[in-house]
């Protein structure tokens, strides 16, 4: 058995909280839906989904080969992730809404894929989930790898929540672009700070 009965609720709570809280992919989904609408955001979301699958299965492989020895090294990824989040925040502050399709290149699959492949929050949460909840119960390859395949049922679904929220409130957000960009940039910076403080 992959999880002991008493681990099921804590595991589900952990993956839910790490999936739904603000992070690069969730804020990217929200921002794209606000600026370009649901259709464009869904194309980007496919990239986020594939990127998450790649990161989570890679994390499972890393955990299988390195085991719990990896736990001490994961904290160093936090600094890289924090720097990336600050970069995204600066980009958010400098962006503005335009409804002229000639002036902007709309984000798509590739942007979503790149955001997720560089999303240290996902790397850390996948490695932590596997090393904390799975490795103490089994060191066999398939249970660890299957967990890596199942983790994408969390993050990308949370991305959809943020995406549909942005699409539903698009008109409001467009009318308050500067304020929304500031709030989202501050959220990214708070994510960066939390990565460093709670590493």
Average pLDDT for consecutive 10-residue bins of the chain (199 residues)? 80 85 85 88 95 95 76 63 73 62 69 89 85 84 92 92 88 76 77 66
Residue 127 lies in a domain: yes
pLDDT given for residue 102 in this prediction: 46
- Number of compact structural domains in the chain: 1
- The span from the CA of 153 to the CA of 99, in Å, is 33
- Residue 114 belongs to some domain of the structure: yes
The packing angle between helices 24-36 and 109-117, to 10°, is 160
Residue 185: phi and psi, rounded to 5, are -65, -45
The pair of three-digit structure tokens given for residue 4, joined into one six-digit string = 């002991």
Look at residue 132 and give its three-state secondary structure.
helix
Q: Could you tell me if residue 18 is inside a domain?
A: no
Going from the C-alpha of 128 to that of each of 18, 55, 198, the distances in angstroms are 11, 13, 13
Domain region containing 158: 5-12+23-197
For the question of whether the overall pTM of this predicted structure is more than 0.85, the answer is no
Dist CA 53 CA 49 (whole Å): 6
Residue 42 covered by a domain: yes
104 in any annotated domain: yes
| Residues contacting 107, CB < 8 A, separation 6+ | 28, 32, 36, 40, 43, 44
> Cβ neighbours of residue 181 under 8 Å, at least 6 residues apart?
92, 93, 95, 96
The reply to whether 17 falls in a domain is no
């Amino acid at each position: 058995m992959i999880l002991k009965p008493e681990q099921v609720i804590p595991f589900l709570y952990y993956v839910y909280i790490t999936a739904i809280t603000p992070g690069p992919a969730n804020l990217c989904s929200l921002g794209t839906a606000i600026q370009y609408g649901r259709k464009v955001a869904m194309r980007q979301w496919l990239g986020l989904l594939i990127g998450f699958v790649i990161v989570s299965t890679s994390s499972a492989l890393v955990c299988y080969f390195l085991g719990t020895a990896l736990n001490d090294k994961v904290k160093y990824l936090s600094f890289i992730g924090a720097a990336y989040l600050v970069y995204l925040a600066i980009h958010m502050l400098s962006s503005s809404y335009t409804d002229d399709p000639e002036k902007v290149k709309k984000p798509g699959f590739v942007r979503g894929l790149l955001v997720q492949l560089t999303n240290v929050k996902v790397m850390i949460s996948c490695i932590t989930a596997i090393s904390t909840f799975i490795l103490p119960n089994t060191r066999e390859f398939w249970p660890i790898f299957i967990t890596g395949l199942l983790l994408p049922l969390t993050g990308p679904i949370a991305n959809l929540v943020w995406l549909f929220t942005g699409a539903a409130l698009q008109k409001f957000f467009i009318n308050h672009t500067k304020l929304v960009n500031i709030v989202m940039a501050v959220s990214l910076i708070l994510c960066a700070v939390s990565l460093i403080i709670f590493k």
